[in-house]
Structure 1
Amino acid sequence: MKNLRPPEVGGEGDPSPGRYRSGNVAITGTSFVPPPGLDVPELMDRFISFINEPIDVRRSLMRIAIAHHRCAAIHPFRNGNGRVVRLLTYAMLIRDGYRIDQGRIINPTAVFCHSRADYMDGLSDADDGTEASNLRWCAFVLSGLRRELEKVGTLLDANILGPRILQPTLRFAVQSGQITDEMAQVLSRIAKNGDGDASTYRSVYPGKSAASISHIIADHKQIGIIAAYPTIRSRRYDQRFQRPGTLTALIHTMDAEGYLPFRRDDVERVHGTSTPLSVTALPLRSE
């Protein structure tokens, strides 16, 4: 856990980055009071045991949901707790099989950023610590994960991917001057057909000689908008978005379609700045 908040990320006003807090804190934007600093080491030991205890896989998502709230409630560090909670949640999801490279989910932690109001209300509700409030929080998290899984399904559907993602991305890239109209036509045809070859280029650049077509293909590979497929020696090509301008256009489109999380850290309760308070002045909530 301490490695998730190393000193190298910067102090951010914390005199002891990378170590559990020893003082008492308040969280901006909420009436919830984290436990006293003296209790943090013991609470974190119990927390670590909880998240590593072997359990039935069918209960793993509920544990991840509870762990997210519990870590935020303990508030183990003076600052940076929001990113720690996100990283921990992400790590637990990957550990339990929700991996990007397996095509199962795009951004697991996006579930906590989808709606600022719902997320903050859910955390506050779960602060009660009752079985009912914990179940409501788990339902919120699980419904968000289902929503993210459904997004993967839409991206696997060519009838959705083309008109909603690829075509708007190419239009945005052309309008912003990142690629030419001819480049966009090539990429559009490659996307429609699954891949492309020299004939794809000839259809976009009629009248060009074979040597000129080869030069254009080499240039497009160099700038990162196509790549040889399936091997580097192949003469068939797949579209790529490695060129900074096209990548920016893709991110813009995916954000507009709701595939990317809301990222303003200051709107989430656990991302608020922690303010040190004196022990005598702080009405501490019992554990």
Structure 2
Amino acid sequence: MATDSELIIRAFELERLRGNFGVTATTPPEFLVSLHTLFQVLMSVVSARIEGNRTTIYEAIRAISEPDPSEGQREVDNIQKAMSFIDQMDPEGPLTHAIVRELHRISVDNLTREGDPNPGKYRGVDVEISKADHLPPSHLQVHAEMSDWLDFANRSLPTSQHMLHVAIAHHRFLWIHPFRNGNGRVSRLLSYAMLRRHGFVSPIGLRAVNPTAVFGNDRDGYYAALAAADNLTNQGTVEWCTFFVRGIHTDLERLSKLQDFDFVQNSLVGPAIDRLVASGGASLSEAYALRIAMQKILVRAGDLQPAFPGTASQRSIAIRGLLEKNLLAQERPGGRTYHLNLLGGRLGPLLVRQLDDLGYLPHILKDDAG
């Protein structure tokens, strides 16, 4: 009963958080887009890490500007591509067999260790799940089971049941185990798609919450809670749903803070700039310029005069230095308006370290930030 009560309380609290999301947001869309990209990278690394991939956050961020051909990075890239595929979908449209198979195809594309012999196709053989008591249904039943799963996933339900809907669908997908490999990655992608369909998006259409962070916070707890639900009893299902809802609640509480631009400047980006100076990645005058860009969002050369006094030519040279370090970026190619490049140069990894200090980094990535 206590577990059941926690489930109900957290489910209702989640609805309050969702209702408030974006209502009083002061963080400019430009910053939200950059933070969205950063969290997309983080969650892709988490999803791959759950499967045993050892690609670090910093390697993944560096690969944004310096392509990495390794298989580990390809797996992370594939997950990001699949997440982008979902972001481009109509959030109110139904999930289909074609969408599920396409997410699988993208996820395992060009992979060996974590690939699948039949990308984008349901398994044609019976399988066993390593270190699990549950035996998935015969391959002869997979298509019918997935049709039933899609009927369930596409149901229109009251708002109060949305989170339980996603949690149960996530477990049931893994219970079916429709592919030979890649089921974990696809299940997490589908959970994100369902959350998006249920309205868990920011005011500018970017993801507000990603269930992958929940699983990355407690990988062992994730597998244990899933296993508890494998017998399809009410008790096991409640245990799994409580784990899922508890994690989403915690994650949305943290993400809600990113709507507050004062918090973003003073607790996240500002301290990252301080770390940049301390590490020798920027001079004090360059840091001053970055802070001006942080506050104004878009700047021209004249806006940076307090940081770079002197002639216009000297200021142009200083700005060019920030562009070469990937700390500033042009609003458009050849333009003379600039913005802070949150993922460029050495600032991106330092933002990650700051996120870790703030408790935003899933536990599974803790070793990366050491």
CA distance in 2, matches of 1:185, 1:56: 50
> Counterparts of 1:1-287 in structure 2 under 5 Å?
1-6=100-105, 8-10=109-111, 12=114, 14-100=116-202, 101-102=204-205, 105-158=208-261, 160-191=263-294, 201-206=304-309, 208-217=310-319, 220=322, 225-226=327-328, 238-261=339-362
Deviations 1:69-91 (A, max 9, x none): 11011111001111111111111
Deviations 1:107-142 (A, max 9, x none): 343122211122122111111311222122222222
- The answer to whether the 8 Å contact 1:98/1:105 transfers is yes
**In structure 2, do the counterparts of structure 1 residues 20 and 228 end up closer, same or farther at CA, with 3 Å as the change threshold?**
closer
Between 71-80 and 245-254, report the one with greater CA deviation.
Answer: 245-254
Once the two structures are TM-superposed, the CA of residue 252 in structure 1 deviates from its matched residue by: 3.8
Deviations 1:187-243 (A, max 9, x none): 23444677766676333334x2244235534664676534689xx9897x6533242
CA distance in 1, matches of 2:222, 2:154: 25
Once the two structures are TM-superposed, the CA of residue 148 in structure 1 deviates from its matched residue by: 1.7
- The answer to whether the 8 Å contact 2:289/2:304 transfers is yes
Once the two structures are TM-superposed, the CA of residue 144 in structure 1 deviates from its matched residue by: 1.6
**In structure 2, do the counterparts of structure 1 residues 165 and 183 end up closer, same or farther at CA, with 3 Å as the change threshold?**
same
Between 251-260 and 119-128, report the one with greater CA deviation.
Answer: 251-260
Kindly provide the amino acid, as one letter, of the partner of residue 243 in structure 2. F
- The answer to whether the 8 Å contact 2:301/2:336 transfers is no
Kindly provide the amino acid, as one letter, of the partner of residue 145 in structure 2. L
- The answer to whether the 8 Å contact 1:104/1:152 transfers is no
- The answer to whether the 8 Å contact 1:225/1:241 transfers is yes
**In structure 2, do the counterparts of structure 1 residues 20 and 150 end up closer, same or farther at CA, with 3 Å as the change threshold?**
same
Deviations 1:133-164 (A, max 9, x none): 21222222222222121112222335543343
Identity %: 32
What's the secondary structure of 2:153's corresponding residue? helix
What's the secondary structure of 1:20's corresponding residue? coil
CA distance in 2, matches of 1:8, 1:142: 31
- Cα RMSD after superposing both structures: 3.2
CA distance in 2, matches of 1:234, 1:106: 35
**In structure 2, do the counterparts of structure 1 residues 228 and 13 end up closer, same or farther at CA, with 3 Å as the change threshold?**
closer
CA distance in 2, matches of 1:150, 1:144: 10
- The answer to whether the 8 Å contact 2:325/2:345 transfers is no
* TM value normalised by structure 1: 0.75
**In structure 2, do the counterparts of structure 1 residues 48 and 194 end up closer, same or farther at CA, with 3 Å as the change threshold?**
closer
Kindly provide the amino acid, as one letter, of the partner of residue 252 in structure 2. L
- The answer to whether the 8 Å contact 1:104/1:149 transfers is no
* TM value normalised by structure 2: 0.60
CA distance in 2, matches of 1:233, 1:79: 46
Deviations 1:157-184 (A, max 9, x none): 3554334321332234345554444322
Between 38-47 and 25-34, report the one with greater CA deviation.
Answer: 25-34
Once the two structures are TM-superposed, the CA of residue 262 in structure 1 deviates from its matched residue by: 5.5
CA distance in 1, matches of 2:360, 2:221: 18
CA distance in 1, matches of 2:187, 2:207: 21
CA distance in 2, matches of 1:105, 1:43: 30
What's the secondary structure of 1:25's corresponding residue? coil
**Structure 1: unaligned runs, 5 residues or longer:** 265-287
- The answer to whether the 8 Å contact 2:101/2:121 transfers is yes
**In structure 2, do the counterparts of structure 1 residues 186 and 67 end up closer, same or farther at CA, with 3 Å as the change threshold?**
same
Once the two structures are TM-superposed, the CA of residue 68 in structure 1 deviates from its matched residue by: 0.5
Once the two structures are TM-superposed, the CA of residue 20 in structure 1 deviates from its matched residue by: 1.2
